[in-house]
Chains A and B, each alone.
Chain A
Amino acid sequence: MKALARPPFRARLRALLRPPRTLSVTKTGRTYLVVTFGVGLGALNTGNNLLYLLLGLLLSMVVVSGVLSERCLRDLTVRRMGADAAFAREPFAYRWAVSRKAGHGFALTLAEDLSPLVGTGRLGYLPAGKELVVRADLAAPHRGPVRLTGVRVTTTWPLGLFAKTRVFSLEGTLLVYPRRGYACREPGQAETGPRGESGSPRHQDGTGDVAGLKELAPGEDARRIHWKKSAAAGRLLKVEREREERRIWKLALPPGLTGDALEHQCEEVAAQAHQLLGAGHEVGLQLPDHVLRPSAGAGQERRILQALAWVGFEDVDAITKQEAA
């Protein structure tokens, strides 16, 4: 399905003025052209017919190069598959699906056009009638929604002398989550759960009967280890009870932050949330104009990351938000 939002006037003007194909000369191509020029001068200067023959071959190869690269980019269909999760300043996996109805494609390099995303995906060979997924490790410099206008497909086929590029107009939005760095500060006191003398913050035994055994994760309380079963299994197993004791944290992003301070705070909160949710706790988030109820699991982490990614970009229209979701 086509893009829903109409791109801004400047983007449309740029797209209108942009030629259907762009051509750039590679380093090898520059040398090739210089030698061709020299051979041409030599042929004209001396009248040596063999130099004319060589010049003809060199120029023909330029023409053939243009024709073959054009055939390579023609009838190409590109579909954006996107990323599972994109984090700022971290490489993340990104995918496009490429196919051709007829003819083969060679040496294709895919990248997002006119976007701050850095990185390319490469495809050596695209057979006719088959859709292949091209994977790339991209990196985004900042968190937040990234407007995607099109996919740039470049090929240096057949001789690597010229890089021909075609841009496929493909609107979309990629939401970049804040980087999950190291959390410098403690997340503070849990809202519910054992406090003070009633139990150690790290001592979460749960109550009720033993429900099962589970492998001990890093950072978990060693006093929950079932030593006999661990010795029998040869690995550390912890006891799980009917009512596991989970604590609830409510993280908050202070209002009024901007710029680097806001970015830093978002990264800090993301890191704390990741740490707490990884330990099995429930985490909620208090934003200046938005509240996420405490919950646990990977879904909650994604919701928190999405909410943090949108902080500072609240004025973006609903359609873009929907796309980014």
Chain B
Amino acid sequence: MKRPLRLRLVLRDLGAGAAFGAMAVSGQLPLWVLGVFLLSLVLALSDVRIVARHARLSAVLLLIAAVLLGLRLTSGAMNAVVAACAFAGLISAQRMLSTPDSSADGQTHLTGLLMVAGGAALSGDMTYALCLIAFGVLASLSLALGVVEAAVPDGEPVPVRSVLLPLSGGLSFAVAGAMAFFILFPRLNWAMVGPRSAPGFGAVSSAGFSDTVRLGGAGTIKSNPRVVLRATLTPDPGREELDAYWVGRTYDTFDGQEWTNVVGAQRTERQITLRPASDTLLHQRVELLPAYGGRTLVALESPSRLGNALALTPTGTRASTVQLHGGGEVRFTITAPAYTYEAYSLPPNAKADASSGLRAEERDQLLALPEHLDPRVAQLAASVLDGEKEPLAAARKLVSHLQRDYAYTLEQGGSLEDPLADFLFARKAGHCEHFATALTVLLRTQGISARLATGFFGGARMDGGYLVRAGDAHAWTHVFVPGRGFVTVDATPPSHRTSQGFELIEKLLALYEAVEGRWRQSVVDYSFRDQFELASKLVRPPRRTAEGAATSSRLPPMRAWVTAAVVAFLVWRLGRIVARWPRRALRLEATRFLDRVDALLARAHVPRREDESLEDLTTRLARDGHPLALALTPLTRRYLEARFGGRALREGEAEHLLRTLRRALDAEAARHAHKPDEQAGPTARAS
């Protein structure tokens, strides 16, 4: 058996790896399947084909895996698509490790194709496109090398470089063709049920809200650069950095160690109204990404309405109702890796009288203090305020005191019995939760109502919207001001409110997010409406505004130049083809004439020699004084004129010339009746 080309096998296995990657990026495959496949891939790349020696054992293992996946599927613990994809990955792994014959190659490529199709059903990430292209390129190269390798005789080298050049050109055309098909093929299905979001490979919830906030926890989240939220604001603030608070929920009860709420779940509706609406609400279309990991809706301060939510589950998009909880928290009722919803918030500096929305027990809690509160806390508040009773002024005094005398740090000293006293009197350093808790409790000791708010602070500009990272998670204080409602007061030093991650990583992630956003907009969400708009733009280009017309050039737009160039090229090619047609017909006629002359000469045993043209033959015969030269000379001249000179043979002229030649040949045959026949060589040629 011929030893297969190593490079081809490597390309085949890498192609299968890319196809598996198209599924794995969804993050929905079981970990043991990931482990088995990666191990198999490493072994296959090391040319260790263990299944070749243990084919039956591997078949039994595959059967056991199928049973396990089936059990998980029937018990509802696993999606049918995920189970099918996982099994395809295991089959691919088994085929990679088996003897590399043609059937194993074909099955590996087939399972790769199925895995890529499964990946399309599982994931909508941009990494899927990279895996798809990688699979297409690697599998095509492997297939092409296999085709050539099968035709190369044993012992001869496979011309790898010669194969790669034309194939790479073909693959480029294939990718371009795929894009053209994608753009132009009419979307017949209006219901987009494809997965727009998956948990992602290795995804962990990093910024979700919990029912309590416990002081003393590590502040590692501040260095997490993952994007948890995308939002489009109307009207658009147009700022590069959004200095705004995204509130998720508030806490009213502090027991000395953690914050909780006194009120639990309340009503469930499609849309929850928290505050009375005004005419100038700030609209937000928010997308919570899998890295968010929670079910709490967030909105800019101060939220008025939240709802119209869609849960992006692995099996498709579903509408979700929302439920109001204590502390103004609004939660999705469906658990999904990602969500989209709409929110309306009051504009900044607007009066937000929310006291009417609070229950009596909640209102009572706004002044509640822990049972064993350190007496020094109240003394500190009194000394700082120095008799100030106006809530907002008092809060600002305390904020300036805290920001002046206390340091910001993410390092914690472990679990403490009284973390607030430790922050205020011992370490004098803490993170946003310490600052916010200290301000809230200090205000309450002086009879000013306040509560703790949690959510995010900031937002980076991206494609007309804003991105919020897990590191932007933040805590601050709501101070109740009679007549204005709750006013946001932040005790944390301004430089430490946003993400504390590495700038380079954040920039890279922002770039990735920008490309990912484009990918989602252009590919995942591409619809019949986009096709219609594209066609409309081509047929009827949008009119330029007066300002745009004044500033831009008077030259036609770029697409007009491109269209004109394409049309010109096509016309030129068509012209070339049309112009070539009569010349080709002319040449064919001349060639047929030559064939008939050849046939006559060969029948008369005056064949042309190898590589001898008719002109050479005529010259040779004339030089030898052969009688046939007289008949051949005009014939040769007319052939050359018809073949190369563009002067076609007239109707009947060919027959006349051939008759003349035939007569000359007959006369020659009569003269040399006794001459032995010459033999014609087998030099037929076709092209």
Contacts of A80 in B (CB 8 A): 682, 684
Of the listed residues B119, B144, B146, B677, the one surrounded by the most CB atoms of chain A closer than 10 A to its CB is B144
Contacts of A78 in B (CB 8 A): 685-687
Question: Bound complex: CA of A160 vs CA of B189, how far in Å?
Answer: 33
Distance in Å from the Cβ of A245 to the closest Cβ of chain B?
35
Question: Bound complex: CA of A56 vs CA of B523, how far in Å?
Answer: 13
Question: Bound complex: CA of A123 vs CA of B685, how far in Å?
Answer: 19
Give which listed residue, A27, A35, A150, A322, contacts B686 with CB less than 8 A. Answer: A150
CB 8 Å contact bits of B95-128 with A (1 = contact, 0 = none)? 0000000000010011001101101110110001
Q: Is there an interface contact between A157 and B147, defined as CB atoms closer than 8 Å?
A: yes
Q: Which of A40-66 contact B (CB under 8 A)?
A: 42, 44-61, 63-64
| Chain A, Cβ-Cβ closest to B119 | A50
Q: Is there an interface contact between A28 and B106, defined as CB atoms closer than 8 Å?
A: yes
A159 lies within 8 A of chain B by Cβ: yes
Q: Is there an interface contact between B684 and A3, defined as CB atoms closer than 8 Å?
A: yes
B567 lies within 8 A of chain A by Cβ: no
B285 lies within 8 A of chain A by Cβ: no
| Chain A, Cβ-Cβ closest to B107 | A31
Contacts of A160 in B (CB 8 A): 143, 146-147
CB 8 Å contact bits of A171-191 with B (1 = contact, 0 = none)? 110000000000000000000
B526 lies within 8 A of chain A by Cβ: yes
Of the listed residues B162, B193, B677, B685, the one surrounded by the most CB atoms of chain A closer than 10 A to its CB is B685
B170 lies within 8 A of chain A by Cβ: yes
Contacts A1-B608, A4-B680, A46-B193 given; does A124 touch B178 at CB 8 Å: no
* Among listed A102-110, A246-254, A278-286, A303-311, interface-contacting one: A102-110
B1 lies within 8 A of chain A by Cβ: no
Contacts A47-B194, A107-B151, A124-B156 given; does A77 touch B685 at CB 8 Å: yes
A217 lies within 8 A of chain B by Cβ: no
Interface size class of B (residues with CB under 8 A): 35 or more
A205 lies within 8 A of chain B by Cβ: no
B607 lies within 8 A of chain A by Cβ: yes
Give which listed residue, A2, A47, A61, A151, contacts B599 with CB less than 8 A. Answer: A2
Distance in Å from the Cβ of A17 to the closest Cβ of chain B?
19
Contacts A56-B182, A64-B174, A158-B140 given; does A124 touch B607 at CB 8 Å: no
Give which listed residue, B120, B128, B148, B187, contacts A107 with CB less than 8 A. Answer: B148
Q: Is there an interface contact between B171 and A64, defined as CB atoms closer than 8 Å?
A: yes
Give which listed residue, A49, A57, A58, contacts B194 with CB less than 8 A. Answer: A49
Q: Is there an interface contact between B117 and A39, defined as CB atoms closer than 8 Å?
A: yes
Q: Is there an interface contact between A68 and B117, defined as CB atoms closer than 8 Å?
A: no
Question: Bound complex: CA of A200 vs CA of B160, how far in Å?
Answer: 66
Contacts of A53 in B (CB 8 A): 120, 129, 132, 178, 182, 523
| Chain B, Cβ-Cβ closest to A65 | B170
CB 8 Å contact bits of B147-175 with A (1 = contact, 0 = none)? 11111110010110011001100110111
Distance in Å from the Cβ of A126 to the closest Cβ of chain B?
10
Distance in Å from the Cβ of A48 to the closest Cβ of chain B?
3
Q: Is there an interface contact between A159 and B158, defined as CB atoms closer than 8 Å?
A: no
Give which listed residue, B129, B170, B686, contacts A151 with CB less than 8 A. Answer: B686
Q: Is there an interface contact between B603 and A4, defined as CB atoms closer than 8 Å?
A: yes
Contacts A59-B181, A60-B178 given; does A172 touch B684 at CB 8 Å: yes
A125 lies within 8 A of chain B by Cβ: yes
B524 lies within 8 A of chain A by Cβ: yes
Question: Bound complex: CA of A82 vs CA of B683, how far in Å?
Answer: 10
Contacts of A56 in B (CB 8 A): 177-182, 185
B595 lies within 8 A of chain A by Cβ: yes
| Chain B, Cβ-Cβ closest to A82 | B682
B265 lies within 8 A of chain A by Cβ: no
Q: Which of B510-551 contact A (CB under 8 A)?
A: 523-526
B192 lies within 8 A of chain A by Cβ: yes
Contacts of B120 in A (CB 8 A): 48, 50-51, 53-54
B579 lies within 8 A of chain A by Cβ: no
Number of inter-chain CB pairs below 8 Å: 216
Q: Is there an interface contact between B607 and A1, defined as CB atoms closer than 8 Å?
A: yes
Of the listed residues A64, A68, A79, A82, the one surrounded by the most CB atoms of chain B closer than 10 A to its CB is A64
Q: Is there an interface contact between A44 and B151, defined as CB atoms closer than 8 Å?
A: no
Q: Which of A117-172 contact B (CB under 8 A)?
A: 122-125, 127, 150-151, 156-160, 168-172
Distance in Å from the Cβ of A88 to the closest Cβ of chain B?
20
Of the listed residues A46, A57, A107, the one surrounded by the most CB atoms of chain B closer than 10 A to its CB is A57
Question: Bound complex: CA of A3 vs CA of B190, how far in Å?
Answer: 63
Q: Is there an interface contact between B114 and A47, defined as CB atoms closer than 8 Å?
A: no
Give which listed residue, A79, A104, A156, A171, contacts B147 with CB less than 8 A. Answer: A156
Question: Bound complex: CA of A56 vs CA of B553, how far in Å?
Answer: 37
Distance in Å from the Cβ of B683 to the closest Cβ of chain A?
5
Question: Bound complex: CA of A31 vs CA of B681, how far in Å?
Answer: 47
B266 lies within 8 A of chain A by Cβ: no
Distance in Å from the Cβ of B91 to the closest Cβ of chain A?
14
Q: Is there an interface contact between B144 and A51, defined as CB atoms closer than 8 Å?
A: no
Contacts of A75 in B (CB 8 A): 687
**Would you call the interface of chain B mostly helix, strand, loop, or mixed?**
helix
Question: Bound complex: CA of A31 vs CA of B687, how far in Å?
Answer: 34
Give which listed residue, A2, A60, A158, contacts B143 with CB less than 8 A. Answer: A158
| Chain A, Cβ-Cβ closest to B187 | A47
B673 lies within 8 A of chain A by Cβ: no
Question: Bound complex: CA of A56 vs CA of B117, how far in Å?
Answer: 12
Question: Bound complex: CA of A50 vs CA of B187, how far in Å?
Answer: 12
| Chain A, Cβ-Cβ closest to B125 | A50
Q: Is there an interface contact between A124 and B151, defined as CB atoms closer than 8 Å?
A: yes
B136 lies within 8 A of chain A by Cβ: yes
Contacts of B353 in A (CB 8 A): none
Question: Bound complex: CA of A1 vs CA of B680, how far in Å?
Answer: 9
Question: Bound complex: CA of A312 vs CA of B116, how far in Å?
Answer: 63
Q: Is there an interface contact between B599 and A4, defined as CB atoms closer than 8 Å?
A: yes
Question: Bound complex: CA of A49 vs CA of B143, how far in Å?
Answer: 27
Give which listed residue, A45, A57, A61, contacts B189 with CB less than 8 A. Answer: A45
CB 8 Å contact bits of B606-637 with A (1 = contact, 0 = none)? 01100000000000000000000000000000
Give which listed residue, B147, B180, B194, B598, contacts A159 with CB less than 8 A. Answer: B147
Contacts of A172 in B (CB 8 A): 682, 684
A222 lies within 8 A of chain B by Cβ: no
Distance in Å from the Cβ of B113 to the closest Cβ of chain A?
5
Q: Is there an interface contact between B106 and A31, defined as CB atoms closer than 8 Å?
A: yes
Contacts of B181 in A (CB 8 A): 52, 55-56, 59-60
A76 lies within 8 A of chain B by Cβ: yes
B42 lies within 8 A of chain A by Cβ: no
Contacts of B156 in A (CB 8 A): 124
Closest 3 CB pairs of A and B: A124-B152, A60-B177, A48-B194
Please list the residues of chain A having a beta carbon within 8 angstroms of any beta carbon in chain B: 1-4, 27-28, 31-32, 35, 38-39, 42, 44-61, 63-64, 67-68, 71, 75-82, 104, 106-109, 122-125, 127, 150-151, 156-160, 168-172, 319, 322-323, 325
Please list the residues of chain B having a beta carbon within 8 angstroms of any beta carbon in chain A: 106, 109-110, 113-114, 116-117, 119-121, 123-124, 128-129, 132, 136, 140, 143-144, 146-153, 156, 158-159, 162-163, 166-167, 170-171, 173-182, 185, 187-195, 523-526, 595, 598-599, 602-603, 607-608, 677, 679-687
Beyond the given pairs A1-B685, A56-B180, A168-B687, 18 more chain A to chain B contacts, judged by CB atoms under 8 angstroms and listed by A's residue number, are A28-B143, A35-B117, A42-B117, A48-B120, A49-B524, A50-B121, A50-B194, A50-B524, A57-B178, A59-B181, A67-B173, A68-B170, A106-B151, A125-B148, A150-B686, A159-B143, A322-B680, A323-B682
**9 examples of A-B residue contacts, CB within 8 angstroms:** A1-B680, A44-B188, A47-B193, A48-B192, A51-B121, A59-B178, A60-B181, A81-B682, A172-B682
